[in-house]
Structure 1
Amino acid sequence: MQWVEFLRQEAATHELSPEQTAAFLVRLQAENSGKSEAKLASDINISAAAFKKRMTEVYDKFAKSCPELATSKRGKLETLKAYLTTKYNGVDETQPKKEIQHNILQAVPWERFVGREAELQQLHEMIQKSQQVAIVAVAGMGGVGKTELATQYAQQNLQNYPGGVCWLSAPGIDVGIQILRFAEAKFKFIAPDDRELVDRVKLCWDRWDAGDVLLVFDDVTDYKTQVKPYLPANSSKFKVLLTTRLEFDRTLSQVSLRVLEPLAAMKLLKSLVDRERLKNEPWVARKICKFLGYLPLALELVGRYLDTMPDLSLQTLLKRLEKKRLEHEAMAEANPLMEYKYGVAEAFDLSWEQLDENAQGAGCWLSLYALADIPFNVEAIEDDELQEIWETAIADLLKLHLLQRQSQGIYRLHPLIRQYFQMKLDESSEADEVKTVFTAQMVEVTKQIPQQPTRDLIQQLTPLIPHLVEATDNLTAFIKDEDLIWAFTGLGWFYQGQGLYKEAEPFLLQCQQIIKHRYGSEHLYFATSLSNLATLYYAAGQYSKAESLYQKALELKISRLGTEHPRVATSYNDLAMKSLVDKLLVLFLSHAEAQRRILEVLSLSFVRRDRSPISNTS
């Protein structure tokens, strides 16, 4: 047994955490004996203080089996080395231990396996809990780290499975044949070839070495054909772990693997990119992690790419990622140094190919919504057949972890999944038609927004606002001419009606600019956009701006419609009202008598029982 493997077993035996194990392994390796703690801490991308703390925790755990650690005068490190060396020599020479047979995949170094400590513990507890065959599914979207979690679990818990760990690639050669080959290579057992494959596998289970056994079925796409026929008969010695993109029902114990937390994502990036380089652009590094949706595969690919481009700034890379997205070379191709053989889009392709046409279409449609919670009430679809199609499509997307369900009728897409679906939509010949229909539906919502929305309506519309904004920001070209002004005006009124004038202004300004670009500055739509913007400024108390825009709108309407048209009369009224308010304000601020008279009228109006408006003669 190699020294490093022995150390790993000791770490697992003494229940060291992944962080403690990383420090323990690097500290106890022979080639590191002359290095300082500060240097070793730097090698695994942690501070010297954190390294010292972890080693203190290691000494405390080993003190249970090595009491000398609590009393030794020659130093804890030397005491621990002596204890481990004696034990190692005893294992290898005087008490040789049978080697545990396995074919576990190569795992990433400890320092790059971050943010999964809780899942590792949960996985172990769930597998050990069952008295029968324990089947635990590590499910999740492509690139989330299912296989790596299973690999780390198998390696860290190898000593718990003296009967061996058999790793089976579900999409590869028939699983049954893989089992026979493992038994032949590791145990020299050859099953008779005069029987069916399933029966030959059963013979293998009967002749398997003593002790608990872990069977890992990696990347299961069809449980019925890839797993079920080859499961051992009920026996507590066999433990089964699946990795899959699928979502099974509640009868199967599952660990649903999600993306990393932001801090863990940054930690992974730091393990791949020079720390000083990240310190120079810390906020950009965080933005890159967020843009990548904290997906482990994307983070590792981008981190390795940055490491090969030492003079590339993080800001420049972020701009390129935002422009090229999944097609950028940092994410498009697998890194040859990685065990995982797919780029991000390729990883998603594996799930995409399992969807039928309806589910693929549903994913593309949902990608047009903003990167926010998507209110999508399938029950509101009136056509029963269409409703059932959507129900099945959403169920398929959820099953493959391509869509996240937040609550009843509320869904969300991962940022990179959304990019992937948008890419697939753009490859379709129906892309323009789909986008036109989508924007038309969004505009229908904005048409329902009055200039003074009620509190109930505001509450009802709030979840839809990010998606309405998405349509106006990125899909303007697909909004029909007659609907263009509604798209922006409705959003402006939503905020203006709440007194949020600064939030309303960008939409009405954008409306003015886009109308001018599409129709020119002589079109009546442009006049309307000027009037709407003027009304906002008027409400916000910016009267000079409002008057100027009202005047421009009036002049344009006169030139196009003449002086007798009702719309021209409306503009005259707007301008007159504005001038009247200015005059009243001047009087109110300048003349005490005017102030007294206005307050008197207002008071009389307030106390009148019929609450009718103030008469013109008052």
Structure 2
Amino acid sequence: MQWANFLAKEAATNGLSLEQTAAFVNYFQTENLGKREAKLARELNVDIAAFTKWMGELYEKFAQNSPELAISNSQGKLEKLQAHLKAKYNSDLDVLKPLAAMKLLKSLVVRERLQQEAWVARRICKFLGYLPLALELVGRYLNKMPDLSLKILLKRLEKKREEHQAVVNANSLMPHKYAVAEVFELSWEQLDENAQSFGCLLSLCASADIPLSLETIEDNKKQKLNEKAIADLLELHLLQQKSKEFYRLNPLIRQLFQIKLNQSTEADEAKTKFAAMMLEVAKLIPQQPRPEDILNLTRHIPHITEVANRLCQYLSNENLITLFTKLAWFYQGQGLYQQAEPWLQRCVKLTQNHLDSEHSYVAASLNNLAVLYESTGRYNQAEPLYEQALELRKRLLGDNHLDVATSLNNLAALYETTGRYSEAEPLLEQALSLRKRLLGEEHTDVATTLSYLALIYEFTGRYSEAESLYQQALEMWKRLVGEEHSHVATSLNNLAAFYCYTQRYREAEPLLKQALKLRKRLLGTEHTDVATSLNNLGQLYESTGRYSQAEPLYQQALAMRKRLLGNHPDVAISLNNLAALYRHTRRHKKAKPLFEQALKICERTLGVSHPTTMTVRANYASFLREAYH
């Protein structure tokens, strides 16, 4: 029953619906773990499609609070969630056999001391329910009190049970946790005020490893106080050190510290302080995080998320918008769009519900969500948001403002992606003129708009104009950010793609290889931009008849895009390209299902009349005529 209660609590904590809760609790019940999903669906009286949908949605909800789940894009997600839940449940709450409990206590307390009051020691083990965590706490407490008899300790524990019965009941502590709560009370009394406050502050962190780097504290007095607090908490086993600068609170100890905090007069002050601390860390998240940024920030994400989910009221609307946006950027920059989307959606709701409808934050939040929708191929959802953001910015800021230029550029880029070049071109020209006027000729935003305008010229047959703009943009990026930058890699890729489009393969190949190498070095090997470079280099090899070199690149790009993007136009492009390669090498059985998948994705995400959809459809039709007639 304890595990079932834990699952029910986790379902409530993560905001699962009634249907999702039923599916979740049934799926993760110990006796059901070996059952097939179809059988569980029947037992819940739902079809398998609904059951699968619920399970997928609930995984994403858990991933919002646990970045170690969010970062996983591999198969076996539910098995990973099961392991996560088991770890969180914590083996410390498993009940030991009486002899094992005594053995544990003997490992913590001087043997002679226990032998003098052996019968009392056994009664203490029984009183504590043979729980390892409670025994660990009581052993540490006894070591702090070398002259305390076990008999007096037992009386103190019994008294604590009487005193705190109402407290643990009011805070929904399950009966098997009472023993830990009583020893915690004795340990709490051993802490000075500073250590008590520090423990309460740590309890506001998520149930994850807590990074504590005291060397960054400039105030020597504060640094020493924190060092002493950590040492005191460690000595009493109220805090565990996982590795250098990483600590963890047992989930139950965390809950007990939170109870203490909420009973104090300092609760609001502590929560405000903690929320402000996490906001400052969140502000360090760049819009396009590099691998080293991800590495450094990942350890903080659970605690930033905890503030976003549990302590919203302790931040102003402006700061909460910043927090949501930064969390979205952390995931979006890794291609983890499903984890980014809820934060941007919450940002839009917050601005629309709590701010004046004519507010610049509303326009910014609409624009940010539109960027994500465009990144995931949901162009019909992105377009009205871009249009709303543009009109709102024009009303609020006038026509001569950088934010207006950004909206013009973004909407034009969407028009270009959806093949509406005549609509995109005037918007890009306006954006370019505005950015040059406000920022000068040498600026990264100017380089960005030049690249988009070059693409329009390329697709409308104005090749000499397109090449000139591509080259201008590349040289500008190099001057402004240096040659070791992801924007330089993108610009190299753009120019190379143009050379491929105009069949200048010898000029394109070294640029594509340079872009791929740079992206791997800067972004890591698992990134959508790396997949794009692999795909583009594969296309060049295929176009020049080097099929054996093209195939593994196409396969790598397809697998990576599937992992990172799901049903996305880029996945369809990779499917189409690999299918075309199989067609050229007369492997028709392999080509046909890939063409079919590519067309299905294009029609669903882009629509039946989009240029990419029509290209894939034409390729499939040509393949069918060749292979089956």
Name the structure where strand makes up a greater proportion of residues: 1
TM-score (norm 1): 0.46
Which structure is higher in RCO with an 8 Å CA cutoff and minimum separation 6?
A: 1
The structure richer in helix per residue is 2
Q: Which has the larger radius of gyration?
A: 1
